[in-house]
Amino acid sequence: MLKGKKILLGVTGSIAAYKAALLVRILVKEGAEVKVIMTAAAKDFISPLTLGTLTKNPVITDLFKDDAWANHVMLGRWADLMLIAPLSCNTLARMAAGICDNLLLSVYLSAACPVMVAPAMDEDMWKHPATRRNLRTLATFGHHVVQVGTGELASGLYGEGRMAEPDDILKEIVGHFHQQGSLKGKKAMVTAGPTFEHIDPVRFIGNHSSGKMGVAIARELLNRGAEVTLILGPATGELQLEGLDTIRVQTAREMYDACHRAFGETDITVMAAAVADYTPALVAPEKIKKNEEDWSLTLKKTPDILKSLGQMKKDGQTLVGFALETRNERDNALSKLAQKNADIIVLNSLTDQGAGFGKDTNKITVFDRNGGERRYELKSKTEVAKDIVDYIMEYTHA
Ligand code: PMT
């Protein structure tokens, strides 16, 4: 199942490190080539000799050994997947903070491949707000976190925090590689961010969209092998755009033009941008001076991009819209699905804590033309993006 796959396994200091031997054995048995990096603390729990013998590759533990330098950049490039199992609380915190004080962290920071982690810790540490925050940070980096199990812990207590069993980690790895190529040969277009409608050279009408939701969807489509065009409004925060063919636009009209240029070629289109519904009827060429007590601005409707694409849609093209609502959420989402001739509508409501603009999390309900409806829990936008792409794939194969 993993023939030809190169897996870089990072082992950190945790009692669960003993499971690394079993994990390596099943990865190798499935045809993967495995190289292991251990932290100094990991060596107290399992010997490098054991893992080196099982992988038939020398285990790397130090940046410098016998006057030689371990090339952490090339190790990160060699791998198809970097798996850190077990991931201790300490290494988790260092990854989230970008600290680079051992070989494992140097390789992690320079790894160009997807990263999967299997945490292991005591229940109280697992539930600590700092651990929760660090895991959310890793999710925003696009890393896959393997769920911990419940059972007897190193402390002798019973609870959550056990590292997933090697067989379960194997399933996640196989699933990851299976998904990775699932959209190969497909073209996708995603809109993200706000639009700014100019009033004069210094003022505009805009909204609070950060672009995070749309970029997470674009990244997920890219991870699964699609060729992705991202049409991005004037979002100002830091966004991970590497690998995405990104077209920057400012206004609803520019977004409309960019979408129409790309749409004919696309198999999957996801409209996550918060597009202004109205724009000033006239843009003043000079800064408007403050004179009157009251000032009225005449606005005109912007083109409805999603609706116009819905009218052009051909068989085989999948069109996904969003609905951002504050009341009558379900009814409004369903009427957008019908009116805009979309295949799928993703509803997010500003009344849900942690959902919507700017946040790293979102809470969605998805509706489709065949009457499908699925509600999801509050999750990181990276995980929400996975759910949306999974839904699209299920829908298109339905
Ligand atoms: O960017 P983030 O900070 O991560 O926040 C994400 C988000 C909340 C912006 C996103 O999840 C979201 O809900 N995007 C859609 C926001 C929106 O404009 O909703 P709407 O209900 O007004 O529009 C419905 C659909 O029509 C959307 O797909 C929108 O892109 C599209 N539309 C709207 C107006 C217009 N003129 N043309 C359009 O294509």
For CA atoms 244, 249, 252, 258, the dihedral sign is negative
CB-ligand 1 contact for 210 (6 Å cutoff): yes
Q: Are 159 and 257 in the same domain?
A: no
Q: Are 21 and 167 in the same domain?
A: yes
Q: Are 197 and 341 in the same domain?
A: yes
Pocket test for ligand 1, best of 304, 322, 364 (most atoms within 8 A of CB): 322
Separation of CA 394 and ligand 1 centre (Å): 23
Q: For 118-240, where are the alpha helices, taking DSSP H only? A: 123-127, 129-140, 166-180, 212-223
Separation of CA 364 and ligand 1 centre (Å): 13
Long-range pairs for 371-376: beta carbons < 8 A, 24 or more residues apart: none
The predicted-structure confidence for 34-63, as pLDDT tens digits, reads as follows: 999 999 999 999 999 999 999 999 998 877
Q: Are 194 and 123 in the same domain?
A: no
Q: Are 191 and 171 in the same domain?
A: no
Q: Are 138 and 226 in the same domain?
A: no
305 in a domain, yes or no? yes
Query: Can you list the positions of beta strands (E) in 187-236?
Result: 187-192, 197-198, 204-205, 227-232
Q: Are 284 and 159 in the same domain?
A: no
Answer with the one of 180, 207, 224 that is the final residue of a domain: 180
Q: Are 135 and 224 in the same domain?
A: no
Contact 213, 192 (CB under 8 A): yes
Strand, helix or coil at 53?
helix
C-alpha of 360 from chain center: 10
Q: Which atom of ligand 1 is nearest to the CA of 191?
A: 30
* Predicted TM-score of the model (pTM): 0.84
Pocket test for ligand 1, best of 306, 329, 350 (most atoms within 8 A of CB): 306
Whole-number pLDDT of residue 314: 96
Q: Are 169 and 90 in the same domain?
A: yes
Contact 252, 278 (CB under 8 A): no
CB-ligand 1 contact for 385 (6 Å cutoff): no
* Regions in the chain scoring below 70 on pLDDT: 64-70, 398
The predicted-structure confidence for 175-193, as pLDDT tens digits, reads as follows: 999 888 899 999 999 999 9
CATH number of the domain where residue 260 is located: 3.40.50.10300
288 in a domain, yes or no? yes
Q: Are 162 and 214 in the same domain?
A: no
CATH number of the domain where residue 82 is located: 3.40.50.1950
Please count the structural domains in the chain: 2
Q: Which atom of ligand 1 is nearest to the CA of 235?
A: 1
Whole-number pLDDT of residue 284: 95
Answer with the one of 132, 160, 180 that is the final residue of a domain: 180
Whole-number pLDDT of residue 155: 78
| Structure tokens that stand for 37 in this block | 């990096």
Q: Are 121 and 216 in the same domain?
A: no
Answer with the one of 134, 156, 180 that is the final residue of a domain: 180
Q: Are 165 and 49 in the same domain?
A: yes
Domain range for residue 352? 187-396
1 in a domain, yes or no? no
Contact 127, 119 (CB under 8 A): no
Which residues are catalytically annotated?
207
Whole-number pLDDT of residue 66: 57
Q: Which atom of ligand 1 is nearest to the CA of 192?
A: 1
